[in-house]
Amino acid sequence: MAAVLPALACPHCGGELEADGGTLLCPRGHGFDIARQGYVSLLAGDASGLIADDADMISARERFFATGHYEQFHAAVAAAAVDAPAGPVLDCGAGEGEYLARAVEARGGTGIGLDLSKPAARRTARRGPGIGAVVANGWARLPVADGAVAVVLSVFAPRNAAEFARVLAPGGRLVVLTPGPNHLRQLVEPLGMISVEEGKVARLDGALHDFELLSREKHEWIMELTAAAATDLVAMGPSAHHGSPGDRAAAIERLTASGAAAVTASGTVSVYGLR
């Protein structure tokens, strides 16, 4: 937490935070205890109506990422972050921290993993001394100081465009990974998964009013998924909240009856700068 503390801000008043033992304090006396697992909650207001990833989803994501099936996504996001100026990386919707850790490794320096999920924050806090994990609402004002970060990552996550513009330093980069229309198409109907809307990338450009597109690269390949990998892939995302686990298991068994299912991974990495 010490490595990223200068970039953080009090979620109530926006004041600078300083460490006092195991607590972060702002000049107005707002205090936030650092959990024994190494993360800090900087939530402001009631977040009880929001849905966060649970521990099972985070574990499924870790297992799936360990198979290497998403290596192309991980490498592409890290590469897109390299050319930004020196400064911290902020991953808004960081999950268990893999994309953030890869970007920080590629750049050197520090990173902030922000997510509403406490299980996600626990995993991110273990990523190394240069990475700090923060529990916060990505749709609200981010607990990050103005112009404090050099890169913002938004990977398969909601985008708070106005806040991204506020926290980015001049010359900073916003790196966004969005799913393509073919993403996981072989699983969508059989498993009742959430489908990707057509024109998603075009709508992204229209929503980022304070940014200009600098580069864009599409990535698409075929994954050969075992039943275990397919199960984790479904369980790690929002589709885990939909449908019957029993029905999903039966459908995956049918799809992988020959040993593996050919499934498309498709996504676009877009890099933006401030106007």
Angle at 209 between CA 204 and CA 212, to 5 degrees: 80
Nearest C-alpha neighbor of 232 from the set 98, 64, 95: 64
Q: Cβ of 32: how many Cβ atoms within 10 Å?
A: 22
Nearest C-alpha neighbor of 275 from the set 196, 168, 186: 168
The first and second tokens of residue 63, run together, are: 């297992």
Read off the DSSP letter of residue 116. S
Q: Is there a binding annotation on residue 26?
A: yes
74 close to 102: Cβ distance less than 8 angstroms:
yes
Residue 245: exposed, middle, or buried by beta-carbon count in 10 A (0-12, 13-18, 19+)? exposed
Q: What one-letter code names the amino acid at 208?
A: L
Q: Is there a binding annotation on residue 31?
A: no
DSSP line for 126-178: TS-TTEEEEE--TTS--SB-TT-EEEEEEESS---HHHHHHHEEEEEEEEEEE
In sequence order, what are the beta bridge partners of 135?
A: 41, 115
Sign of CA dihedral 62, 68, 74, 79: positive
The first and second tokens of residue 98, run together, are: 């893999």
Q: Is there a binding annotation on residue 96?
A: yes
132 close to 111: Cβ distance less than 8 angstroms:
yes
Q: Is there a binding annotation on residue 99?
A: no
Binding-site members are 26, 30, 70, 96-97, 183
Binding-site members for S-adenosyl-L-methionine are 70, 96-97, 183
Binding-site members for Zn(2+) are 26, 30
